[in-house]
Amino acid sequence: MKIASEKKSLPSLFIHRPVGVLMILLAVLVVGYIALKQIAVELMPAGFNPSFLWIQIPYANANPSEVEEQITKPMEAQIRTVQGVRSIESKSGKTGCSAMVKFSQGSDMNIIYAQMKDRMDRLKSELPDDVKNIFIYKWSEKDRPILWVAIAEKIRQTDPYLILEHHLQKPIERMDGVAKVELSGAQEKTVWIMVNQDKVNAYRLNFYEVMQQLRRDNFTMPAGFVEEGEQKIWLRSVARYKTLDEIQYIPIKGSLCLKDIADITYEIAEDDFCHTIDGKKAVTLAIYKESIANTAKLSKKIKEFLFQESIQNSKLKGFQIEILFNEGDFIQESIDNLVSSGIWGAIFAILILYAFLRKFRMTMIVTLSIPLSLMITLIFFYFIHWTLNLITMMGLMISVGMVVDNSIVVVENIYCKLFEGKDPYSSALAGTEEVALAISMSTLTTAIVFLPLILMNDEAGFRFYMLRLGLPVTVSLLASLLVSMVIIPVAARYIIQPQKIATQQKSSRIINGYARTLSYCLSHRIETLLVLAFLMASMFYASGKVAYQKEEGGNINDIVLFFELPYNYTMKQSEQVFAKVEKILNIRREMYSVKTIEMHYRPSRGQIRIFLQPLPQKEWYES
């Protein structure tokens, strides 16, 4: 009869069903553990495509004016037919042309990319016959490598490309979660046939026929299949040269062989490109992950593989391997910060609550809301296919200190009901129902504060990242409301001992001090109002003095310098320029905490990437 007379509310629905609440708690813990283990971890959230495209059309050994007239202007005319174009920044040079195309905010970059590809296909018929390729680049988070590895030669290698390809690039590409591995800075050896034109004329040979014969002789192609009983055997015609001797003794005419009219070598081609790490000739590996892979775990796995190979593999003894950038380290640092914030937040919450309540059991009940609220938020992430990244983890860290508010109000009111002499059941039910509306309105007003930032901004990037920041806070606050109205009352009913409430209830110094301050403020309203006005004015003054910037300030641990050199520069002149810059940087190496200087350049352009020493990790209490 007692239950039938109660109001139908959320606390009354669960407070007399402790077994059901226990099952809900266990379900949250189990599903939360699964979500914590399965959820992908990455540096930045994926899914946002900036509203720009980069187009590049290579055209070697051309005059810049000729490139502008024959390639750049027709390209710009086709680009303008794509919807949403806001600006076009093009550049013409002796190696071709490029264009940065920016589009209106909110444009669907997938549709625009398809339209741009269609326009560039139409453009090919208007371009010179020598133009072979048109490249269209669309940026996304997946285009950034999770590891960037520098490999310098300690001992001069005859074929570094072959060694690194077979012993590092291919094994890493076979790992689960790795999308691709780009090897740059090393060139593959190729067979060079340097034909002596005088000998060709002396033997009265047709050079075109010689070239056609070489192309016909070196091939691999499918040749169908044969059936033998129930078996189907696929055939493949293989006519590939395996050694230089086979190439040298290719018959040309009668007893005449290829070596009689040409010099055949197997070597690395001379290239107008240089790549160095701290002044040493080097190679870099850029390792990309699959979209569903866990960045932190994959980075750790690759790092362990590189360490083992550098020690155990004899082929790699002549190389020095150094990891310049590891996205997994930054993710792990963020996770450690989140765990540390959660632990310290819980400790401070326990101390403050205990200072006011002076009841250890009630303090522990309130503290339960922190891990449970965060666990429910992780479950939400898991089912909407979000990842743990810097932005979402920042939202979780913000919410750590906010999720205890509702539980504090509920527990304090239950505490008051017990002090009035009510039984645990009535105290838990009445104490929760009295404040249910208040904590619901308080939670909703706090959660909705992110809505204007997400919906009322014209910049798509800002809305995207504010959603990833605001939704974790909103979900954790709603989860804390659910915990405070379902789990906390049941826990208070069975854990708190009412017989000790009356004997231990004493006013602490903190409460007495607060009561005196409140009494003074109520009796001196004008003075209190003036103090509040002064505090508000000081806040506006301070906010106006705080420096801020709208654009991104830089990379995580590196600085990139881009160089545009005169088009008539030779490789030697470019080398002199970059050597001077490197010398200046080395002089200031300790001043700027420089870890590694990576350079790559050509006669007309180049780039220097300066990697900085990581800052030592300290806790907030360390000096």
Q: Tell me the C-alpha to C-alpha distance, in Å, between residue 392 and each of 317, 450, 576.
A: 42, 14, 46
Q: Tell me if 608 is assigned to some domain.
A: yes
Q: What are phi and psi of 597, to 5 degrees?
A: -115, 115
Q: Give yes or no: residues 429 and 539 share one domain.
A: yes
User: What average pLDDT does the segment 456-477 reach?
Assistant: 82
User: Is pLDDT above 70 for 623?
Assistant: no
The pLDDT, as a whole number, for residue 30 is: 93
Q: Tell me if 149 is assigned to some domain.
A: yes
- The helix (run of H) or strand (run of E) holding residue 410 is helix 405-419
User: What average pLDDT does the segment 200-221 reach?
Assistant: 71
The pLDDT, as a whole number, for residue 109 is: 83
DSSP, collapsed to helix, strand or coil, labels residue 467 as helix
- Calpha distance 535→222 (Å, rounded): 82
The pLDDT, as a whole number, for residue 2 is: 44
Q: Is 291 in contact with 146 (CB distance < 8 Å)?
A: no
- Calpha distance 408→386 (Å, rounded): 30
The pLDDT, as a whole number, for residue 202 is: 81
The pLDDT, as a whole number, for residue 240 is: 66
User: What average pLDDT does the segment 276-293 reach?
Assistant: 83
Q: Give yes or no: residues 150 and 130 share one domain.
A: no
Q: Find, among 205, 165, 210, the residue nearest to 189 by Cα.
A: 165
Q: How confident is residue 381, by pLDDT bands cut at 50, 70 and 90?
A: very high
- Calpha distance 57→51 (Å, rounded): 20
* Predicted confidence (pLDDT) per residue in 474-517, tens digit: 999 999 999 988 888 888 888 776 655 555 555 567 777 888 88
The pLDDT, as a whole number, for residue 475 is: 92
Q: Find, among 179, 68, 50, 45, the residue nearest to 113 by Cα.
A: 50
Q: Give yes or no: residues 529 and 469 share one domain.
A: yes
**Sequence-ordered alpha helix ranges (H) in 95-219:** 109-123, 160-164, 170-173, 197-202, 207-217
Task: For residue 168, give the CATH number of its domain.
Answer: 3.30.70.1320
Q: Give yes or no: residues 212 and 64 share one domain.
A: no
Q: Tell me if 593 is assigned to some domain.
A: yes
User: Is pLDDT above 70 for 618?
Assistant: no
- Residue 299 CA neighbour count, 13 Å, CB half: 23
> CA-based diameter of the chain, in Å?
119
The pLDDT, as a whole number, for residue 108 is: 82
Fill in the amino acid letter for 38: Q
The pLDDT, as a whole number, for residue 379 is: 93
Q: Find, among 297, 286, 296, 330, the residue nearest to 151 by Cα.
A: 286
Q: Could you tell me the residue range of the domain that residue 222 belongs to?
A: 190-267
User: Is pLDDT above 70 for 270?
Assistant: no
Q: Give yes or no: residues 22 and 124 share one domain.
A: no
User: What average pLDDT does the segment 329-350 reach?
Assistant: 75
User: Residue 335, Cβ neighbours under 10 Å: how many?
Assistant: 14
DSSP, collapsed to helix, strand or coil, labels residue 250 as coil
Q: Give yes or no: residues 165 and 279 share one domain.
A: yes
User: Is pLDDT above 70 for 457?
Assistant: no
Q: Tell me if 346 is assigned to some domain.
A: no
- Calpha distance 375→381 (Å, rounded): 10
Instruction: Answer with the one of 244, 267, 290 that is the final residue of a domain.
Output: 267
DSSP, collapsed to helix, strand or coil, labels residue 21 as helix
- Of 384-393, 455-464, 505-514, the one with minimum mean pLDDT is 505-514
- Calpha distance 540→517 (Å, rounded): 26
- Calpha distance 599→583 (Å, rounded): 12
- Calpha distance 154→152 (Å, rounded): 6
- Percentage of the residues of the chain whose pLDDT score is greater than 90: 8
Number of helices and strands (H, E) in the chain?
Answer: 23, 18
Q: Give yes or no: residues 421 and 479 share one domain.
A: yes
The pLDDT, as a whole number, for residue 383 is: 92
User: Is pLDDT above 90 for 385?
Assistant: no
Q: Find, among 556, 569, 574, the residue nearest to 611 by Cα.
A: 556
- Of 366-380, 448-462, 586-600, the one with minimum mean pLDDT is 448-462
The pLDDT, as a whole number, for residue 600 is: 84
Q: Give yes or no: residues 475 and 462 share one domain.
A: yes
User: Is pLDDT above 50 for 1?
Assistant: no
Fill in the amino acid letter for 388: L
The contacts found for 154-161 with CB under 8 angstroms, 24 or more apart, are 154/318, 154/319, 154/320, 155/317, 155/318, 157/318, 157/319, 159/189, 159/268, 160/186, 160/283, 160/319, 161/186, 161/187, 161/188, 161/189, 161/268, 161/283
Q: Tell me if 533 is assigned to some domain.
A: yes
- Of 36-40, 307-311, 342-346, the one with minimum mean pLDDT is 342-346
Q: Tell me the C-alpha to C-alpha distance, in Å, between residue 366 and each of 146, 269, 371, 407, 576.
A: 40, 71, 11, 5, 67
Pairing label, strands 594-601, 605-612:
antiparallel
User: Is pLDDT above 70 for 4?
Assistant: no
Q: Tell me if 378 is assigned to some domain.
A: no
Of the two residues 378 and 239, the one the predictor is more confident about is 378
- Of 296-310, 460-474, 487-501, 524-538, the one with minimum mean pLDDT is 487-501
The separation between the first and the last C-alpha atoms of the chain, rounded to the nearest angstrom, is 63
Which of 489-493, 530-534, 536-540 reaches the highest mean pLDDT? 530-534
Q: Give yes or no: residues 158 and 306 share one domain.
A: yes
Of the two residues 401 and 104, the one the predictor is more confident about is 104
User: Is pLDDT above 70 for 119?
Assistant: yes
DSSP, collapsed to helix, strand or coil, labels residue 413 as helix
- Of 223-227, 363-367, 385-389, 474-478, the one with minimum mean pLDDT is 223-227
**Sequence-ordered alpha helix ranges (H) in 422-508:** 424-447, 451-455, 460-495, 501-504
The pLDDT, as a whole number, for residue 337 is: 75
Q: Is 385 exposed, middle or buried (0-12, 13-18, 19+ CB in 10 A)?
A: exposed
- Of 71-75, 116-120, 339-343, 362-366, the one with minimum mean pLDDT is 339-343
pTM: 0.69
User: Residue 390, Cβ neighbours under 10 Å: how many?
Assistant: 19
Q: Give yes or no: residues 146 and 133 share one domain.
A: no
Q: Is 510 in contact with 473 (CB distance < 8 Å)?
A: no
- Calpha distance 429→414 (Å, rounded): 8
CA torsion angle 24 29 35 41 (round to 10): 140
- Calpha distance 371→351 (Å, rounded): 17
The pLDDT, as a whole number, for residue 144 is: 78
Q: How confident is residue 7, by pLDDT bands cut at 50, 70 and 90?
A: low
User: Is pLDDT above 50 for 3?
Assistant: no
Average pLDDT, the chain: 81
* Predicted confidence (pLDDT) per residue in 257-267, tens digit: 887 888 878 77
- Calpha distance 378→387 (Å, rounded): 9
Number of structural domains, the chain? 5
User: Is pLDDT above 70 for 321?
Assistant: yes
The pLDDT, as a whole number, for residue 470 is: 87
The pLDDT, as a whole number, for residue 380 is: 94
The pLDDT, as a whole number, for residue 530 is: 92
The pLDDT, as a whole number, for residue 621 is: 63
Structure tokens at 421: 């002499």
Rounded to the nearest angstrom, the gap between the alpha carbon of residue 363 and the centroid of all alpha carbons in its chain is: 38
Instruction: Answer with the one of 545, 571, 591 that is the final residue of a domain.
Output: 545
Rounded to the nearest angstrom, the gap between the alpha carbon of residue 396 and the centroid of all alpha carbons in its chain is: 17
Looking up tokens 């051309």 gives: 62
DSSP state at residue 169: I
Q: Tell me if 376 is assigned to some domain.
A: no
Q: Tell me the C-alpha to C-alpha distance, in Å, between residue 460 and each of 51, 112, 213, 469, 555.
A: 9, 16, 58, 14, 21
User: Is pLDDT above 70 for 14?
Assistant: yes
Q: Is 242 exposed, middle or buried (0-12, 13-18, 19+ CB in 10 A)?
A: exposed
The dihedral sign for the CA sequence 400, 401, 406, 411? positive
- Calpha distance 147→219 (Å, rounded): 37
- Residue 463 CA neighbour count, 13 Å, CB half: 13
Q: Find, among 407, 402, 467, the residue nearest to 432 by Cα.
A: 407
- Residue 521 CA neighbour count, 13 Å, CB half: 11
Q: Give yes or no: residues 37 and 120 share one domain.
A: no
Q: Tell me if 551 is assigned to some domain.
A: no
Instruction: Answer with the one of 294, 311, 330 that is the final residue of a domain.
Output: 330
Q: Give yes or no: residues 86 and 29 share one domain.
A: no
Task: For residue 218, give the CATH number of its domain.
Answer: 3.30.2090.10
Q: How confident is residue 620, by pLDDT bands cut at 50, 70 and 90?
A: low
Q: What are phi and psi of 227, to 5 degrees?
A: -110, 130
